[in-house]
Chain A
Amino acid sequence: MSSALLPKPQMRRLLARRMKFHLFGAFLLSVGCAALYKFGVADPRKRAYAEFYKNYDPMKDFEAMRAAGVFESAPPK
């Protein structure tokens, strides 16, 4: 009777293998979170400021606020 031999399983450095796997995963997760924040919050905020100031007319803004009675030094006409 012949018995098929199973391949010898890995018996050493199992914790090291698991640690390497999970540490790699942890770093990926943390970089992913940072990337999510960067592309979801930080970059849109930078773009919003750039867009706001691209065609910003301070005098037009001032006149609109003045008409609304916002200023103490410049009452509405």
Chain B
Amino acid sequence: MTTPVIELRDVSRGYDDGPPALSDVTLTVHAGEAVAVLGPSGSGKSTLLNLIAGLDRPDTGTVTVAGVRVDELGEAASARHRRARVGMVFQFFNLLDDLTVADNVVLPAQLAGMARGEAARRAADLLDQLGVARHARAYPGRLSGGERQRVAVARALMNRPALLLADEPTGALDTASGEDVSTLLTELNAEGQTLVVVTHDLALARSCTRRTIQLVDGRVAGDVSVEPTR
């Protein structure tokens, strides 16, 4: 096995009211793995992703991503960590409506200070690779859900992150578009992209990952790996 990209130890996170969103979660994800996090609504899936991305901090426990203790980073350091190593894809795309598709995709690189020309070239390549190049100058509002999610994936990949996190990426899509995005993620993983996908869609989990983690009430209720079918 290769070096762990994600390592959570005894992580708990609760909010002011109600039971903890996560309690005593320990898990390890290695480079090149594709992991699906499954669980009913409110089981703590998004909380888990936010902790890994450094958008949130655990109450107890440690979160290490690509060798960096994410839970110990300050705001600025965690932003830098995110833009260098973590790409995020959301259920509702979260594209910026006032920016063109190309400007959306290039944004992470610009925030990281990548040279203008280089960033533009990479964005164009990505859009091409993901089959949305003809929409580069359009605004997200004009695109279909599936196309928007492809753009969102392109944006997440812009800085060649070690880790791609997707929170219910097909949750807002019709079946056809959902399968389309699922195929895309599978291909990315096949090319070596480490992937964590949160979903409650078993079909998605089966098609693009070989390992599923089941969350129930903030606890890991199951962690199953299946042998590759190919």
Q: Do A and B bind each other?
A: no
